[in-house]
Structure formats: C-alpha cells, structure tokens
C-alpha cells in the first residue's frame, strides 16, 4: 500500500499501516502527507516527544514537509535481565 495520490481520501487502513511502519522503522510518519521524519535526524524536535518515564500521552508535532500539525504517541518497551554476579553478564 503506497501513499494516497493527491486528492484521494486517506483511509484508516492507510493510517494504520503508516503507524505500524513508524513503530517498526523508528521514524515518525506524517498522517497527512506520508513524509518520514527520521528520529536520528531530528533530535532537537524529538526532545519534546521522547518520554523517559512513561505516561505523558501524545505530543504535538509539525510535519517538516507539509507543515501540518499532528500528534505522536511514543511506545517504549523495557526488558530486564538479572544475574547473581556481574561476571555472569560478561559470558
């Protein structure tokens, strides 16, 4: 499924696909025009959106391509591993 053509309606299926790509590719995709904002290239903007302590909700974002506003929700998955000694991690 590609980007909708000029004048075509943006469907929920297209939006859901873009959101899934954003989660998988670690980029923010504009739901208006499909522009992909690479997280690694936009740290000055990402500082407002990245949530290190969870629970702050969606952040507002302005597309750098079409200049339209939209909201971004960050999802974080943390995993933990434990060992009896620090040397066990070095194996």
Q: Does residue 43 fall inside a structural domain?
A: yes
DSSP state of 5: P
- pLDDT tens across 1-58, in order? 555 566 667 788 877 877 776 666 667 888 999 888 877 666 666 666 666 655 567 7
Please state the domain count of the chain: 1
Q: Which residues contact 48 (CB under 8 A, 6 or more apart)?
A: 59
- For residue 57, the enclosing domain spans 12-72
Q: Which residues contact 1 (CB under 8 A, 6 or more apart)?
A: 13, 14, 17
Res. 78 pLDDT band, cuts 50 70 90: confident
Q: Does residue 68 fall inside a structural domain?
A: yes
Q: Does residue 66 fall inside a structural domain?
A: yes
pLDDT at 21: 67
Hunting for tokens 């696909």 — which residue is that?
A: 17
The rounded distance, in Å, linking the Cα atoms of 65 and 31 is 12
- pLDDT tens across 38-47, in order? 776 666 666 6
pLDDT at 31: 92
Q: Which helix (H) or strand (E) holds 24?
A: helix 12-25
Q: Does residue 78 fall inside a structural domain?
A: no
Q: Does residue 27 fall inside a structural domain?
A: yes
């Amino acid at each position: 499924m590609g980007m909708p053509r000029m004048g075509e309606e943006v469907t929920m299926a297209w939006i859901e696909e873009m959101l899934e790509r954003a989660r998988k590719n670690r980029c923010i995709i504009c739901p208006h025009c499909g522009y992909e904002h690479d997280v690694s290239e936009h740290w000055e903007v990402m500082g407002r959106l990245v949530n290190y302590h969870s629970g702050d909700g969606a952040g507002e974002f302005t597309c750098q391509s079409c200049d339209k506003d939209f909201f971004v929700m960050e999802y974080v998955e943390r995993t933990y591993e434990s060992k009896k000694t620090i040397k066990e991690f070095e194996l």
